[in-house]
Chains A and B, each alone.
Chain A
Amino acid sequence: MSSNLDQLYRQVIMDHYKNPRNKGILEDGALNINMNNPTCGDRIQLTLKVEDGKIESAKFDGEGCSISLASASMMTQAVKGLPVEDALKLAKVFYDMMLGNDYDDASYDLGDIEALQGVSKFPARIKCATLAWKAMEQGVGKKEEE
């Protein structure tokens, strides 16, 4: 088995895949975002509770591969409690990481997210990893439109 593959499927990713954090749907007027990856059929439903410019709570549901579900699990974990502005900045950091660019790992605690770094070597899988983050961006965008 190639070491690249081991980089892609790190233990912590498989743990998030097997035991997703924040799985479910928030009720009571939470923001609701449905997004899919039209090229492969992955699908996510993200619900966010945003109050006073801060993401109070985040949950996700959906179907997809190990990378997309693990990334969704990690994303909800990372943005919970963050000001919206910071969550959006974190998304940019994540996209940089996916593109193989230098990324800012000093401003935020990336935690488990850094395990996804290996995805950047698999261009076909980057969209799997970014789906949940795109959904988050769309969700907080909706909030700003209100």
Chain B
Amino acid sequence: MSAKEWRKLFPILDQEVNGKPLVYLDSAATSQKPIQVIEALDKYYKEYNSNVHRGVHTLGTRATDGYEGAREKVRRFIGAKSTQEIIFTRGTTTAINTVARSYGMANLSEGDEIVITPMEHHSNIIPWQQVAKVTGATLKYIPLQPDGTIDLQDVEKTVTEHTKIVSVMQVSNVLGTINPIKEIAAIAHKNGAVMVVDGAQSAPHMKVDVQDLDCDFFAFSAHKMCGPTGIGVLYGKKALLNKMEPVEFGGEMIDFVGLQESTWKELPWKFEGGTPIIAGAIGLGAAIDFLEDIGLDNILKLEHELADYAMERLSELDGVTIFGPKHRAGLVTFNLDDVHPHDVATVLDSEGIAVRAGHHCAQPLMKWLDVTATARASFYLYNTEDDVDAFIKGLTTAKEYFGHVF
């Protein structure tokens, strides 16, 4: 199947926006959902909605099988050793916050260091700022190369024997940079630090193998990979998770509750307080089936082709600044001279084209780029060269529209 065939599996794409066929180029913010995922959610609510891990009744068993079956799909999808290492969370943000609050707060103190990069999403900056504030640890940044990549020599220089946590995104949501996680993890481990990976922009688009990367924690969200909103995953090495305290306490996560003290369930459930995100997990499982059916390699190949084609077409226009390295994931962040990104996005929207404009939850990176905002077109398996052509035509319209004013 080709992208044109894949596209037909996404009902939302078959519509007009502002009188023009929808061209959806904002998948890095959230992806669209294929019919398989929508039907899995529908089937769950229509046929076996029930709470998990408690009822003796038949629906309860079916729901539990669906929920725990999704966990096994996630384990296989990222190459983890055991389902005990797969914790369902609300999303990437909650997953990173869990590591920060549980591991970070307990293991760091004054004199320790946390190392991140200036290209991180706010969700991989602020949790560490909070840990540093409370524990007295120092938050350090690996400097970026002028093209927005990381030089491993800079990692060697920044990570020291005092570093306890290194946390880096695998793929940048702004620059499209693909970071050398495996090599950074090795440097972290050499110095006795744990490696945390923000996989929000990588897991949807490329084959991830957490054992090969040898990361200690890996976080990602379902909604960017054809799954529903409200669910994500925290992978953690069992030995570490076992030593960590839960961050949410209540139903579902307990073993025994006394009047003064309680004990926790085993992994992974001790981190899943309250009724879990059952429908979400089942939807994520369906999304994984869908992506594996198409093949992550095929998706990555298509996205590279689209990004290359978009870069080539953009370079034909005057007054376009493109941010990020040449070798990149399937997104292009750019600005037009004399047209603010919001205005670019509004003109494109009037042509039915959805792009992101703003700071992309990466204010420190905007500062590093010396801009206040940028526009971004991001691609997924349902996009085609026709979408890129429509996008370029839309930009030409924006340039003309604003050009006559200046």
Contact surface of A with B, Cβ cutoff 8 Å: 1-2, 4-5, 8-9, 14, 17-18, 39-43, 63-68, 122, 124-125, 128
Contact = CB atoms under 8 A, between A and B. Distances in A.
Interface stretch (B152-160, B237-245, B337-345): B337-345
Contact-residue bracket for chain B = 20 to 34
17 contacts: A2-B19, A8-B346, A9-B343, A9-B401, A40-B342, A40-B357, A40-B358, A40-B359, A40-B373, A41-B359, A41-B372, A42-B372, A65-B340, A65-B343, A66-B343, A67-B343, A122-B346
Nearest to A40: B358
A65 B18 contact: no
B405 interface: yes
Nearest to A62: B372
A4 B350 contact: yes
Interface of B: 18-19, 340-343, 346-347, 350, 357-359, 363, 366, 372-373, 397, 401-402, 405-406
B358 A125 contact: no
A63 B341 CA distance: 12
A5 B358 contact: no
Contacts of A128: 342
Contacts of B347: 5
Contacts, number: 55
B352 to A, nearest CB: 10
A41 B358 contact: yes
B48 to A, nearest CB: 38
Contacts of A63: 372
Given A4-B350, A41-B372, A122-B346, 15 more contacts: A1-B350, A2-B19, A5-B401, A40-B342, A40-B373, A41-B366, A42-B342, A43-B372, A64-B342, A64-B372, A65-B341, A66-B342, A66-B402, A67-B343, A128-B342
Contacts of B340: 64-66
A124 B349 CA distance: 11
A64 B359 CA distance: 12
A65 B366 CA distance: 16
Contacts of B397: 1
A40 B397 CA distance: 23
A4 B373 CA distance: 24
Contact of B350 (A5, A17, A68): A5
A68 B343 CA distance: 10
B405 A14 contact: yes
Nearest to A13: B405
Nearest to B357: A40
Nearest to A4: B350
A122 B397 CA distance: 19
Contacts of B350: 1-2, 4-5
A81 to B, nearest CB: 29
Contacts of B366: 41
B346 A5 contact: yes
Contact of A67 (B19, B342, B363): B342
